[in-house]
Chain A
Amino acid sequence: MQSAITNSSVTSISPSRDGFRDIVERHQSRVFSIAFRILGDRGTAEEVAQDVFLALYRNLDRVQSQEHLLSWLRRVTVHRATDAYRRRASRVEFAADEFCEEHMRLEGTGSVSQRAFESSGMATSIEQMVSSLPLAQRSVLLLRYQEDLMPTEISALLSMPLGTVKSHLQRALKLLRTKASRQRKEAVHG
Chain B
Amino acid sequence: MSLAFDKVPLQLTVNGKPCAVEVEPRTLLVELIREQLNLTGTHVGCDTTYCGACTVLLNGRNVKSCTVLAVQADGSDVRTVEGLATEGKLHPVQEAYAANHGLQCGFCTPGLLMSTVRLLEKHPKPSDQQIRKAIAGNTCRCTGYQNILKAIRAAAAAGK
A associates with B:
no
| A contact residues vs B (CB 8 Å cutoff) | none
